[in-house]
């Protein structure tokens, strides 16, 4: 029996496939911000789902007060915390900025006198320096007040991410099983087992990161109160929250605290710098090796490389999910590429 004749191979199909692939890549590039937001939301949903389940199983005797309402409790807790933070923080900050803009001509000479007492300060040209500082102070306050629109846009993105995270928590199970349905049954079980192990390790990352945030928030609040800084409680809470962003979060907290402290005195600003320098040494040499490395089970070099790649590819959002993504990649590599001896 003669085999069926094949049609001669043409390059038309190859060219069409190349064009479709290029169009798909271009579309993904245009939608990269939306896809990144979806990925970050899905990843945090995977990490937070065990927390929501544990909250729903809390018991008081035989009564489960949050059974079936754990997600609602999470939403109300986040909304209440954000509202309280904004209510107690934003009005006094805006009031002080308004005063700073109006009192800049009177405050700048005092600042120049302080600068002249610093090393090499006697070489400063008073007139030119006062003029520059007056212009800078007025422009900084005006820029801060006018940048509310930009901050509102960022806040809208954060709120969208929170809403997507809640939807993934509520309906993520169906989406997860739909994703697994694309794989044959034997491979599906292996992949599901691998992803479950990755989810456990990412949950441990969240617990370790929350511990570091709590430690830094409490330590910074105590230090700011000891230095009698303005907005000490707000700065302490913000410092702890920003610590979820590796490297960049501590940097932003340091800059904000120094800017607030420098209004009162250089000694307070120096105290803030010393505190952050000492804390970073303690965190890098003692806290992170004992809290994070034992939980995520990744070498320090892998964490550093993942952070660099995350910030380069996705900015702050990329750095935020760099470590849990590295955990996911590490688990997949260990399962499918690393040769295991019997």
Task: Choose the weakest-confidence range: 116-120, 183-187, 209-213.
Answer: 116-120
Q: Could you give the dihedral angle defined by the CA atoms of residues 169, 174, 179 and 180, in that order, rounded to the nearest 10 degrees?
A: 110
Per-residue pLDDT of 242-301, as tens digits, reads: 888 877 788 888 888 888 888 778 888 899 999 999 988 888 777 776 777 667 777 777
Overall average pLDDT of the 79-100 stretch: 71
CA distance 240 to 21: 44
Tokens of 276: 């952050």
Asked whether residue 170 carries a pLDDT value surpassing 60, the answer given is yes
On the question of pLDDT at 7 being above 60, the answer is no
pLDDT of residue 256: 87
Provide the pLDDT for residue 125: 47
What mean pLDDT value characterizes the chain?
76
Q: How confident is the model at residue 121 (pLDDT cuts 50, 70, 90)?
A: very low
DSSP 285: I
Mapping DSSP to helix (H, G, I), strand (E, B) and coil, where does residue 68 land?
coil
Name the band, by pLDDT with cuts 50, 70 and 90, for residue 68.
low
For position 283, what pLDDT does the model report?
A: 81
Provide mean pLDDT across the span 53-62. 72
Q: What long-range pairs does 306-310 form, CB within 8 A, spacing at least 24?
A: 307/246, 307/247
Structure tokens at 326: 């590295």
pLDDT confidence of residue 110: 62
Q: What's the whole-number mean pLDDT along residues 64-93?
A: 72
Measuring CA to CA, which residue among 283, 288, 261 is closest to residue 273?
A: 261
| 32-41, 63-72, 80-89, range with the lowest pLDDT | 63-72
145 or 319: which leads in pLDDT: 319
Beta carbons within 8 Å of 150's beta carbon, 6+ residues apart: none
Tokens in use for 247? 């490297």
Lowest mean pLDDT among 62-71, 144-153, 230-239: 144-153
CA distance 207 to 319: 18
Q: What is the pLDDT of residue 276?
A: 92
Residues 222-242 pLDDT 10s: 999 898 888 888 888 889 888
Angle between helices 32-56 and 148-180 (to 10 degrees): 70
User: What pLDDT, on the 0 to 100 scale, is given for residue 157?
Assistant: 79
| Model confidence, pTM | 0.70
Which structure tokens are listed for 72? 């609602």
Query: Which is higher by pLDDT, 165 or 56?
Result: 165
Q: How far apart are CA 156 and CA 293, in angstroms?
A: 34
Q: Could you read off the pLDDT of 300-328 as tens digits, one per residue?
A: 778 878 888 888 887 777 888 888 888 88
Under 8 Å CB-to-CB from 118, ≥6 apart: which residues? 266
Higher pLDDT, 161 or 150: 161
Percent of the chain with pLDDT over 70: 74
As a dihedral over the C-alpha atoms of residue 209, residue 211, residue 46, residue 335, rounded to 10 degrees, the angle is: 60
């Amino acid at each position: 029996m003669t085999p069926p004749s094949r049609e001669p191979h043409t390059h038309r199909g190859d060219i069409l496939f190349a064009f479709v692939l290029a169009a798909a890549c271009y579309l993904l590039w245009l939608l990269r911000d939306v896809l990144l937001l979806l990925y970050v939301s899905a990843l945090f949903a995977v990490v937070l789902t065990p927390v929501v389940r544990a909250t729903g199983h809390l018991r008081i005797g035989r009564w489960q007060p949050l059974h079936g309402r754990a997600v609602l409790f999470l939403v109300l807790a986040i909304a209440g915390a954000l509202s309280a933070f904004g209510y107690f923080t934003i009005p006094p900050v805006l009031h002080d900025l308004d005063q700073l803009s109006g009192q800049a001509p009177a405050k700048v000479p005092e600042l120049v006198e302080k600068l002249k007492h610093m090393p090499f300060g006697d070489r400063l040209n008073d007139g030119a320096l006062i003029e520059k500082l007056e212009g800078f102070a007025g422009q900084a306050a005006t820029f801060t007040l006018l940048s509310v629109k930009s901050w509102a846009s960022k806040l809208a993105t954060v709120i969208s991410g929170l809403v997507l995270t809640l939807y993934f928590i509520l309906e993520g199970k169906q989406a997860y099983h739909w994703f697994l349905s694309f794989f044959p049954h034997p491979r599906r079980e292996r992949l599901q087992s691998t992803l479950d192990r990755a989810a456990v390790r990412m949950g441990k990352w969240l617990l370790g990161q929350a511990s570091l945030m709590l430690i830094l928030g409490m330590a910074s609040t105590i230090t700011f109160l000891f230095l009698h800084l303005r907005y000490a409680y707000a700065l302490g809470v913000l410092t702890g929250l920003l610590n979820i962003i590796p490297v960049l979060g501590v940097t932003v907290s340091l800059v904000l605290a120094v800017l607030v402290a420098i209004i009162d005195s250089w000694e307070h600003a120096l105290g803030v710098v010393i505190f952050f320098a000492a804390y970073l040494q303690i965190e890098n040499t003692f806290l992170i090796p004992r809290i994070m490395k034992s939980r995520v089970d990744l070498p320090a070099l892998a964490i550093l490389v993942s952070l660099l790649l995350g910030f380069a590819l996705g900015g702050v959002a990329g750095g935020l999910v760099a470590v849990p993504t590295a955990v996911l990649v590490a688990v997949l590599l260990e399962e499918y590429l690393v040769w295991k001896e019997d």
